[in-house]
Structure 1
Amino acid sequence: MPFSNRIALPADTPRYKGNLHAHSTVSDGRLTPAEVAADFHAHGYQFLCLSEHDRYTDFSAELDREDFIILPGLEASAVLYDDIHARNRLKVHHMHGILGTDEMVAAAPRRFSHMDYVHPLERFGTWDGLVVAQQLGDYLAAHGCAVTYNHPLWSRIEPYDVLGLKGIFGIEVYNYDTENEGGDGADTVYWDLMLRRGARVGGIAADDSHHVLAFDDMFGGWVVVCAPELTRSAIVRALMAGEYYSSAGPEVRSWGVTDGCAWVDCSPCERVTLVAGGPIGGNRTVIAPAGELMEHAAFELRGTETYVRLECTDARGRRAWTNALFAD
C-alpha cells in the first residue's frame, strides 16, 4: 500500500518534554504536588500531568511557570475483584483523563473541579472488560478530557479487554515504575494489536512516578511533543494528533516517509527497528557495526505495510518510539 510523503516530526518545530503520569501526596506519592513539579522542572521537563488515583486536580494556577506547565487530570479506575468479600484485584483499568483543548472544554456537557473524587467502577467475579473500559473512557471524555490507557500488562489486562476501545489517543508502551518494580512495564504488544486493527492510537512512555525510595521511578520515560507553544491547549492538541515521540533515552530528531522509504534521524543508537503492519516478515532491524553507533537509518518499504513506526535503541538498551504512520 502506498504511503504519502510526510515528515512526522519536522526538525525545526518547537519541542517540549513532558511526563504524563505522576503521583503526589494527593494519592499515593511521597512528595507534595509542589515538590513533584519542582523536581521535574529541575530535570528539564516543560510539562507534567499530576495524575492522582481517582482524584482530579488542577494545580496549574499554583504551579505553572513561564517555562513549565501542569496538565490538569486524573488516573481513573475500574476494578474487577474476585468476589464481593475477598476483594482481591484480578484486573484493573487505569485510564487518564487529561483536561482537553479549549474547544473540548467548551463543548463538554460537564467538567471536573479541583479535588473532585471519581469513584472507581467495581465489578465482581467476571466482567466484559471492553464494555467497562469504554464506559470509563466515555465518562472522562464527557468531562472534557483527552483519554489514555495505562500499563495494561501490570493491570493483568487481556487483549480482548481493550481491543476495540474507542476514544483514546494513546496507550502506555513503557511504564518506568512498573518496569523497575516488577518487570512488567513494556506494553508494545497491546499497542501493535490495536494498530493492526486500524486504531489511530499513539504510544506513550511515562514514569508513573511516586518518588519511592525502594527503587528508581523518576525520569525514565517521557514524551517529546511538537507544538507551536507551551500551553495546555497546544500540548494536548499535539498529543491527540500524535505529534510527539516517546523515549526512555534516545532522541528522535526527525523521521518520516519519503518516496517509499521510512527513515529516522536520531541520537547515536546501536539499532533501529521498523515495525510494520501487514504480512509476516514486515519488521526489520538495522544494527550498527560492532563498536559503532548510527544517527540515521532508512528502510525501503515493500508496498504491503499497513502502518509503519520506528524504534531506536541506544547502547544501553534504552528505546525511543515514534508514533505510527498509516498507508494511504
Structure 2
Amino acid sequence: MPFSDQVFLAPGGSRYKGNLHSHTTNSDGRLTPAESVAAFRAHGYDFLCLSEHDLYTDYSDAFDDEGFVILPGLEASAYLYADESESVRLRCHHMHGILGTDEMVGAAPRLFSHMERLEPIRCHGSWDGEAVAGELARRLAERGCVVTYNHPIWSRVEPDEFCGAEGYFALEIFNYDTVNESGTGYDVTYWDLMLRRGRRVLGFASDDNHNEGLFDDAFGGWVIVRAPELSRDAIVRALLAGDYYSSSGPELLSWGVEAGRVWVECSPCERVNLVAGGPVNAGGTVIAQAGTEGLTHAEFELRGGETYLRVECVDARGRTAWSNPAFADEA
C-alpha cells in the first residue's frame, strides 16, 4: 500500500521538552528530587519523570506549576540471576511505568501511591524472557501506567526475550548514560528489527541520569512533544500518539510525504537518513555538501513497497534527532 500525503510534527502548536528517565537520591542518583527538578528547569526542560528503581514517586504537588510538569512513575525491574545466590545478574528487564491519561487513572482498579515499592521479578538459571517482560508490563498497566522498555543492549537481552512482549508502547532507542558509561546506549537496531516484524512500537531518547560525576549523563537525550497544553494528561496523550520526536542535539522541525516523496525540515545537519522497511535498498541518505552550513531540508523519492518510514537528522558532531515511524496503511 503506498503512503498517502501527510504531515508529521506539523508546524504550529506548542512543543515541550522532557526527560522520561531520571534518578535521584530516592534510588541510586546523587541529586535530591528538588535539585534534579531545578537543574532540568534551568536547562529549558518543561517536564520530567523521576523514574526511580522499583519505587513509584509522585512529586506533582511539590513541583508542578504553569511552566513545569512532573510525570509520576517508576523504573520497574525483572532479573535473571545465574543461580539462587543472586550474586550474578545475567539479564534484566527495566521498564517504565508512567502514570497514564486521566481515563487510565480513572479506570485503574488501584493506583500506585507516593513512595510505594514494586518488588522486582526474580528468576534463577533460566527464564521465559518474553513472558516475564509481558508480566512486568501487565503489573504496571493495571496500576494505571503507560509502559516503555528501556536500554535492551545494556540489559543483555536477546531479541526473543523482549521484542514480541506485549504491553509497552515505546522502546528507549538512545540512553545517554549508558552511551557514556559503556557504549551500550544505542538501540535503533532492535527498533528496526521490531518494526520490520510488524511491531508498531515508538522510540524515545532519554538521559537515565544519576549525576554521580563519573561521566556526563545529564541533558544529553530528550523528547520534544507537540501537545495542546503543558499537563500530564496532554503530554502522555501525545506520547502515546507518537506526536513527538527524540533527540540528542538537532531539531526535527517537521516531515511528511507528498506525491510519493518524503520531505524533512530540520536544524542544520550533516546528513539526513530515511530509514524504511521493505525490500533491500529501501530508504536513503542525503549528505550536506562540503563547505556548506549543513542541510535544513532533504527529500527522498519513495520506491514503492516501503512498509514503514522514519527519519534521522544527524549533525556534524554525530548527534541525532529521530522521528517516530509512519506506516503505509495509516492515513
| TM exceeding 0.5 | yes
Structure 2 residue runs of 5 or longer lacking an equivalent are: none
Partner of 1:222: 222
Q: Deviations over 1:49-108 (max 9, x none)?
A: 000000000000001121111000000000000000253000000000000000011111
Equivalent position amino acid for 1:227 in 2: A
Partner of 1:297: 298
Partner of 1:308: 309
Counterpart CA distance in 2 for 1:306 and 1:197 is: 10
Partner of 2:270: 270
Counterpart CA distance in 1 for 2:2 and 2:247 is: 28
Equivalent position amino acid for 2:209 in 1: S
Counterpart CA distance in 1 for 2:56 and 2:259 is: 46
Structure 1 residue runs of 5 or longer lacking an equivalent are: none
Q: Deviations over 1:242-262 (max 9, x none)?
A: 000000000001111112111
The DSSP-based 3-state class of the residue aligned with 1:240 is: helix
Counterpart CA distance in 2 for 1:279 and 1:109 is: 45
Partner of 1:195: 195
1:78 touches 1:133 (CA, 8 Å); kept in 2?
yes
1:170 aligns with 2:170: yes
Equivalent position amino acid for 2:129 in 1: G
Counterpart CA distance in 2 for 1:294 and 1:9 is: 18
Counterpart CA distance in 2 for 1:13 and 1:161 is: 39
Counterpart CA distance in 1 for 2:52 and 2:176 is: 17
Partner of 2:70: 70
Q: TM-score, normalised by structure 2?
A: 0.98
Seq. identity, %:
64
Q: Deviations over 1:102-140 (max 9, x none)?
A: 001111121100000000000001111000000000110
Equivalent position amino acid for 1:131 in 2: A
| Equivalent runs, 1:7-18 vs 2, <5 Å | 7-18=7-18
The DSSP-based 3-state class of the residue aligned with 2:55 is: coil
Q: CA deviation at 1:194?
A: 1.2
Counterpart CA distance in 1 for 2:131 and 2:17 is: 34
Equivalent position amino acid for 2:258 in 1: T
Counterpart CA distance in 1 for 2:20 and 2:110 is: 23
Q: TM-score, normalised by structure 1?
A: 0.99
Q: CA deviation at 1:167?
A: 2.1
Q: Deviations over 1:175-227 (max 9, x none)?
A: 00000001110000111111112222111100001112110000000000010
Instruction: Out of 79-88 and 52-61, give the one that drifted further.
Output: 79-88
Partner of 1:56: 56
Alignment RMSD, CA only? 0.8
Equivalent position amino acid for 1:148 in 2: T
Partner of 2:323: 322
1:19 touches 1:206 (CA, 8 Å); kept in 2?
yes
Partner of 2:94: 94
Counterpart CA distance in 2 for 1:91 and 1:202 is: 23
The DSSP-based 3-state class of the residue aligned with 1:223 is: strand
Instruction: Out of 69-78 and 166-175, give the one that drifted further.
Output: 166-175
The DSSP-based 3-state class of the residue aligned with 1:94 is: strand
| Equivalent runs, 1:195-274 vs 2, <5 Å | 195-274=195-274
Equivalent position amino acid for 1:250 in 2: P
1:169 touches 1:239 (CA, 8 Å); kept in 2?
no
Counterpart CA distance in 1 for 2:217 and 2:252 is: 23
Divergent runs of 4+, >3 A? none
Counterpart CA distance in 1 for 2:44 and 2:163 is: 35
Counterpart CA distance in 1 for 2:204 and 2:86 is: 34
Partner of 1:38: 38
The DSSP-based 3-state class of the residue aligned with 2:49 is: strand
Partner of 2:114: 114
Partner of 2:142: 142
1:176 touches 1:206 (CA, 8 Å); kept in 2?
yes
